[in-house]
Amino acid sequence: MKNIAIIGTGYVGLVTGVCLSEIGHHVTCVDIDQAKIETLQQGISPIYEPGLEELTKDNVQRGRLHFTTSYHQAFAEAEVIFIAVGTPQNPDGSANLTYVQQVSEQIGRHLTRRDTVIVTKSTVPVGTNRKVRDWIISQAPVDTRIHTVSNPEFLREGSAVQDTFQGDRIVIGTDSPFASILMEEVYSPFGLPIFSTDIESAELIKYASNAFLATKISFINEIANLCEKLGANVEDVAAGMGMDTRIGSQFLRAGIGYGGSCFPKDTKALVQLAGDVQHNFDLLESVIRVNHEQQRKLFTKAMEVLGSLQGKRIAMLGLAFKPNTDDMREAASLILIEELQKAGADIIAYDPIAMKKAQAILGDTIEYSQSVTECIQNADAAMIVTEWEDIKNTPLSTYVEQMKTPVILDGRNCYTIEEAAGYPVSYYSIGRPSSTT
Ligand SMILES: NC(=O)C1=CN([C@@H]2O[C@H](COP(=O)(O)OP(=O)(O)OC[C@H]3O[C@@H](n4cnc5c(N)ncnc54)[C@H](O)[C@@H]3O)[C@@H](O)[C@H]2O)C=CC1
Ligand SMILES: O=C(O)[C@H]1O[C@H](OP(=O)(O)OP(=O)(O)OC[C@H]2O[C@@H](n3ccc(=O)[nH]c3=O)[C@H](O)[C@@H]2O)[C@H](O)[C@@H](O)[C@@H]1O
């Protein structure tokens, strides 16, 4: 078993650290956010991620998992150091590598071993691992040997722990035989397929994967837009397409576009990366444009259905960018709220988990409620933004009972059109025929 340090205790760093300790490694997680580290030291997870807190507590108790703000403490015994800090987007869409550079220099200053393996898990543009190496060496004692590895992460928020234990593949890009052997030892207890390649290919696999998944989503959303005009049902179209194993049924759920901390930023970063080598990635630019429109879809529909939104009370059901996470980054709800407010609507929102994070962003510009029922009371329209279980399972009769006018704009196709037709509601969804009272 290895001594491992993980830098950054966000969605990726924390989940990776906890899961590596679960398979027996000795892991120290380091972060500059003192409040986060103190919370973790008490066995509390600062993020909502199913199963994570239990595993954290367990491994802290077993003495295999530690949290610190001290690089010195984290790196003292580390044979492998994972970089898992954020790579947010710059104003031009490119990836901001400030945090990666900062931690690389810190690694250099604190190295004590002769051979250390440095693994970049953060999503970084092709060429960054070479820079990481240079940044470390610029600060390191002369006789240290650095072995860099690109090891992109494919977990999804909301199922991050499960994805780590049951992922489809682990990608390892390195030109160091020493690192290659060590990484096999680190990951072999997971029993997952390992794909080995060069550093640049590994870096690109991450962007290509996210861009491809985003393309699938924008594609089905465009088909949904066509369905609405042609009278077809996108769910049947997607089901029929997905039965072809060459296409596959996953990521063909039409909706209100992709949000979250990665697809929006990674698609833009790949367009920039292509531009850097004088390549116009037209396809991906269209994917991004389609998503921009799709994230505003429920607003456009509300305008069509209600006419003026001035003084209208709109109930927003779900705020997180997807269910089972409290992450609000690039959530469609934020875009919709902005558009609705500009048009003069009043918003009352409900989310079972993300409300605290949403409140930190939106403050008192909107009202908050504690349940679906409370949220839709006296509303002129309800917008279903996130398909949480309690939102999906709300009987349509509740809308009829509680709302001023039972107008439902369902961005996640939570009800069948047959079901909706059985109630006195005006029901509008994505890529399917509407039913009006
Ligand atoms: N969130 C996700 O589902 C996935 C994210 N990724 C990629 O992984 C990377 C990390 O993403 P998240 O975990 O979502 O980020 P995050 O923003 O949740 O966490 C980043 C953490 O790094 C810490 N940090 C920043 N500078 C530091 C420093 N100098 N020293 C120590 N800690 C520092 C921050 O305090 C924060 O806790 C990004 O490149 C992202 O694109 C990849 C796959 C999935
Ligand atoms: O690089 C990353 O950060 C991660 O980005 C995504 O994971 P995540 O953003 O957590 O969530 P997804 O389940 O992929 O959903 C992303 C967005 O696409 C939307 N989506 C997803 C699937 C679908 O069929 N339709 C659809 O609209 C979701 O509602 C959500 O807004 C990828 O799925 C992960 O493999 C990757 O590691």
What's the pLDDT tens digit per position in 112-139?
A: 888 999 999 999 999 999 999 999 999 9
Residues β-bridged to residue 410: 384
420 is in an annotated binding site: no
Examine the domain organization and report whether 135 and 261 are in the same domain.
Answer: no
Examine the domain organization and report whether 176 and 247 are in the same domain.
Answer: no
Q: pLDDT band for position 384 (50/70/90)? A: very high
* 37-57 tens-digit pLDDT: 999 998 899 998 999 999 999
Of 50, 119, 129, 49, nearest in space to 97 by CA: 129
Number of domains within the chain: 2
pLDDT at residue 275, rounded to an integer: 96
Query: Catalytic site residue 227?
Result: no
Tell how far the Cα of 37 is from the centroid of ligand 1, in angstroms.
Answer: 14
Residue 11 has pLDDT above 90, yes or no: yes
251 is in an annotated binding site: yes
Examine the domain organization and report whether 151 and 72 are in the same domain.
Answer: yes
Which residue type sits at 79? E
Residue 233 falls inside a structural domain: no
List, chain by chain if needed, residues with CB within 6 Å of any ligand 1 atom. 7-13, 30-33, 36, 84-87, 99, 102-103, 122-123, 153, 155, 157, 261-262
Atom of ligand 1 nearest to the CA of 33: 35
Residue 78 has pLDDT above 90, yes or no: yes
Examine the domain organization and report whether 152 and 259 are in the same domain.
Answer: no
pLDDT at residue 194, rounded to an integer: 97
ipTM above 0.90, yes or no: yes
Q: Whose CA is nearest to atom 12 of ligand 2?
A: 156
The answer to whether residues 314 and 346 touch, using CB atoms and an 8 Å cutoff, is: yes
The pair phi, psi for residue 27, each rounded to 5°, is -120, 135
pLDDT at residue 144, rounded to an integer: 85
The pair phi, psi for residue 228, each rounded to 5°, is -60, -35
The answer to whether residues 179 and 193 touch, using CB atoms and an 8 Å cutoff, is: no
Examine the domain organization and report whether 177 and 322 are in the same domain.
Answer: no
pLDDT at residue 142, rounded to an integer: 78
Write down the mean pLDDT value for the chain: 96
**Cα(15)–Cα(162) distance, integer angstroms:** 10
pLDDT at residue 151, rounded to an integer: 98
Q: pLDDT band for position 77 (50/70/90)? A: confident
Which residue type sits at 150? S
Mutate which of 19, 75, 85 for ligand 1? The one with the most ligand atoms within 8 Å of its CB, which is 85
pLDDT at residue 211, rounded to an integer: 98
Residue 283 falls inside a structural domain: yes
259 is in an annotated binding site: yes
CATH for 135: 3.40.50.720
Examine the domain organization and report whether 254 and 174 are in the same domain.
Answer: no
The pair phi, psi for residue 56, each rounded to 5°, is -60, -50
Examine the domain organization and report whether 295 and 182 are in the same domain.
Answer: no
Examine the domain organization and report whether 247 and 183 are in the same domain.
Answer: no
The pair phi, psi for residue 83, each rounded to 5°, is -100, 120
Which residue type sits at 80? V
Mention every residue, 6+ apart, whose C-beta is less than 8 A from residue 89. 95, 96, 264, 265, 268, 269
Beta strands in 90-242 (DSSP E): 115-120, 145-150, 170-174, 194-197
**Mean pLDDT for the stretch of residues 313-325:** 96
**Mean pLDDT for the stretch of residues 202-226:** 98
Q: pLDDT band for position 436 (50/70/90)? A: confident
Examine the domain organization and report whether 333 and 260 are in the same domain.
Answer: yes
Residue 407 falls inside a structural domain: yes
Of 20, 7, 10, nearest in space to 81 by CA: 7
195 is in an annotated binding site: no
**Cα(403)–Cα(96) distance, integer angstroms:** 45
Mutate which of 156, 205, 249, 386 for ligand 2? The one with the most ligand atoms within 8 Å of its CB, which is 156
Residue 341 has pLDDT above 90, yes or no: yes
Secondary structure element (H or E) that encloses residue 130, with its range: helix 128-139
Residue 204 has pLDDT above 90, yes or no: yes
Total residue count of the chain as it appears in this document: 437
The answer to whether residues 83 and 8 touch, using CB atoms and an 8 Å cutoff, is: yes
Parent domain of 346: 242-436
The answer to whether residues 356 and 363 touch, using CB atoms and an 8 Å cutoff, is: no
pLDDT at residue 43, rounded to an integer: 87
